[in-house]
Structure 1
Amino acid sequence: KAGLKGSIVKIEPTGFEQIAFWITALAPLLLLGGILGAYLEFKIPGVTWPGIISAICFALFFLGHYLAGLAGWEVVALFVLGMILVLIEILFFAHSTIVFGVLGVFLIIASLLWTMIDRYPQQPFVPTGKMLAIPLLNMFIALVGALIVIGLLARYLPRTSFYRRFALIDSNPPGPSLAGAPRHFATALALAAGMQGTAVTVLRPSGKARFADHVVDVVTEGEFIARETLVTVIRTDGMRVVVKSAAQV
């Protein structure tokens, strides 16, 4: 109507932009995969594939938002720092303080939310409620989904052949002392709080212990326990057996 002349130029998204779009759209699923992988890594000592899956999910999450221009490498640094603090809490300060763990979890959540904020020039540094709406929704979906799946896994996974294939408790460490150890699964043993056994490997914090004629995977609450140390079961937590040095019970 205005009588303007000129060619119409259509701007098409590049391949990287399309990848970024799909990754950001799948942010809740990537967060869910990262959380579940981290959970299984801690629940099944000695198995590395859940940790690898978790790392891939979080890497794709940050990469997609980086390609979309929503985040820089500083949020990745905050996330890694948070993970380091959580590991320090688990390995060294599990019985003394929660400061490192709380600070680490805060940095992890803050970095994930900050990554998903859609920020434009001239907007305030502190995000508004409207800016946080989508990130909080994505985080809520991921956390609720993770809790549901974790609950189902804790209840049904130990009964499956899939779990037993990857979580064999009887994998013997090197040495003649375990040559005759019978094969058993953690879920098939009647282990209860108060039962005593002997560490057959160094527990740092996971390893193996012998209870009667059975060798099982165990984990401490952060302490390192030397081989041949007498240990006591303090609880059975879902898929794992938590022990402590008998001298400290």
Structure 2
Amino acid sequence: MLAEQLSAFLTHPVTATVLLIVGIVGIALELLFFSSGLLAAAGIAGFALYFLGFYLAGFAGFGDLAVFGIGILLLILELVVPSFGILSVLGAICLFGGVMMASSDPKEAAIMLGVALLVAIIAVAFAIKHFKHRGVWNRFILREQLTADKGFISHPDRSFLVGKTGEAITPLRPAGTALLDGERVDVVTDGSFIPTGRAVIVVQVEGTRIVVREYNQTDTKEAMK
């Protein structure tokens, strides 16, 4: 008697539609926002109660549950092994197929599923609008620009070396090492060869590339002006 009452309540079109809404919204939001399984659990519970009602009524069989179970498994695999939505689509097809197969009236089930999908789309759109900063897409998008004015630098700023003089401690052919401000620095010339021990002056700094040329008397005169 209790099973019949429970079955009648769960298979009522309004109740069944609400359960489908809970199931679809829960699964969809879990895939979009990764809520540590809470939304997925709510979604599975909604679908489980839907199937329970039709199972108690004698309409849902193990085949229907198997199709639905495959859908759940595919969605779980999507969470673990991202497939660019392929597993999600296949899982959704299995879920909806199981729902249609379990119902006593496929036409009525299609109507309930259509209403549930419409409500679910509205609910998901609302969630995306208000919680978009927590969406799964943020894992693939760099939302903040890493600029120097925000304190982000990819390498030490060596621009202060421009105009500094030092000594080539290895042959510069054209790359090599020079001693600048008491520090060994990798440098490159503008194409000329500079032997070891020659004085050099830094003429350009581009990121990690430090360009030098041989220091001469002209540089001394210019510095004195």
For residue 5 of structure 2, the aligned residue among 11, 14, 18 is: 18
Q: Distance in 2 between matches of 1:101 and 1:40?
A: 12
For residue 108 of structure 1, the aligned residue among 75, 95, 101 is: 95
RMSD of Structure 2 on Structure 1 (CA): 3.3
Distance 1:88 1:53, change over 3 A: closer
Distance 1:104 1:154, change over 3 A: closer
Conserved in 1, the CA contact under 8 Å of 2:3 and 2:56? yes
Aligned sequence identity (%): 25
What amino acid is aligned across from residue 39 of structure 2 in structure 1? P
Distance 1:73 1:92, change over 3 A: same
Q: CA deviation at 1:45?
A: 2.7
**Structure 1 partner of 2:158:** none
**Structure 1 partner of 2:124:** 150
Q: Distance in 1 between matches of 2:140 and 2:106?
A: 45
Deviation readout 1:98-137 (Å, 9 max, x if unpaired): 3x44433322211110111x2xxxxxxxxxxxx4220110
TM-score, with length taken from structure 2: 0.54
Instruction: Specify the SS of the correspondent of 1:94.
Output: coil
**Structure 1 partner of 2:111:** 137
Distance 1:94 1:64, change over 3 A: same
Is 1:48–2:29 an aligned residue pair?
no
Is 1:37–2:11 an aligned residue pair?
no
Q: CA deviation at 1:51?
A: 1.9
Q: CA deviation at 1:63?
A: 0.7
Which structure has the greater CA radius of gyration? 2
5 Å-filtered alignment, 1:56-205, equals: 56-89=45-78, 91-92=80-81, 94-95=83-84, 98=86, 100-116=87-103, 118=104, 131-156=105-130, 158=131, 193-195=141-143
Q: Distance in 2 between matches of 1:103 and 1:53?
A: 21
Q: Distance in 2 between matches of 1:86 and 1:104?
A: 5
**Structure 2 partner of 1:234:** none
Q: CA deviation at 1:42?
A: 2.5
Instruction: Specify the SS of the correspondent of 1:47.
Output: coil
Q: Distance in 1 between matches of 2:73 and 2:49?
A: 20
Q: CA deviation at 1:41?
A: 1.9
**Structure 1 partner of 2:179:** none
Conserved in 1, the CA contact under 8 Å of 2:33 and 2:134? no
Q: CA deviation at 1:93?
A: 5.7
Gaps of 5+ in 1: 1-13, 119-130, 160-184, 198-211, 214-249
Structure (1 or 2) with the greater helix fraction: 2
What amino acid is aligned across from residue 102 of structure 2 in structure 1? T
